[in-house]
Amino acid sequence: MVFPVRRMRRARIKAIQPILRQTRITHEDLVVPLFVDHNLKKASPIASMPGQFRYPISEMGAIAEEIRDSGLRAVLLFGIPKHKDERATGAYEENGVVQEAIRSVKRAVPEMVVITDVCACEYTDHGHCGIIGKTRRGIDLLNDPSLELMDRIAVSHAEAGADIVAPSCMLDGMVSSLRSALDGAGSSETLIMSYSTKFASAFYGPFREAADSGYSFGDRTSYQINPANRREAFLESELDAGEGADILMVKPAGFYLDVLAEIATLGLPVAAYQVSGEYAMIKAAAERGWIREKEAILESLICIKRAGADIIISYFARDVAGWLVEEQ
């Protein structure tokens, strides 16, 4: 029997594998998403996301210190306000939940990179991502009035000390509008991480419990992307890049690696959001003994990075940070 000169298994010897590893997860890759609730006095567990919590503002400084001590350096904040109304006025209050959380984090850990979600779904009584009104299609999200709302939210976050604002409402023209508003308010150094390719996904379910952001009617398919549409997904990110986004994002992450890889060719940094449903599936399967949790988590993140992500937003970030320290 004639063997080929190229024997691929030579490179898979246990001692050799680490030095030939092509993709690695580091602390710098990871962002910790956090839910901050203005109504709480102590942390409250999220039933559909085992291991995750809603935190009161009073605990944000300590949480930031814990995250820093684990080797991580970036958080993404979501807020649950004291009150909701049709026009999401609580989203841009000077002393709103996210604004206060930013200040708490920055007081405790000034070097922490603070990213804020810029949207209205947690703040509206109807649960949609902006201003709603009558259109030819019935009651729907109104694009341009919602842009004005997002501008106010982003500026309030920047003034509170956010380093990066992340608009997630998938409005047409949102990056251009935010860039103009931030620059006009003296926040030209604030980066925009656009949720530039956000799919109308079935995997956001647990998040709606975590952020109290379920919608009272209809769905979000008029402003989020059909999962079947790859070319449209690329065009959305291409448009946001042209409008001045500093960072692009694909959400969800693990089921859209082909889209992630294509968007990485645009040349901007790319974030990938491993969403609540992706988290919950791994946790549920691991709890039942169907998969090995640590290995499944690390494999999922390696695949996301291998596809082209520079930044990975994951509810597993703090677990992974500990494992990375153990391996050093």
Which residues are catalytic, by number?
198, 251
Amino acid identity of 94? E
Picking from 205, 217, 207, the residue whose alpha carbon sits closest to that of residue 313 is 207
d(CA 52, CA 49): 6
Backbone φ and ψ for 85, nearest 5 degrees, come out as -150, 180
Collapsing DSSP to helix, strand or coil, 307 comes out as coil
Handedness of CA 227, 87, 277, 35 (dihedral sign): positive
Which residue reads 């909701």 in tokens? 84
Is residue 293 exposed (0-12), middle (13-18) or buried (19+ Cβ within 10 Å)?
A: middle
Given a contact cutoff of 8 angstroms between Cβ atoms, the answer to whether 80 and 97 are in contact is yes
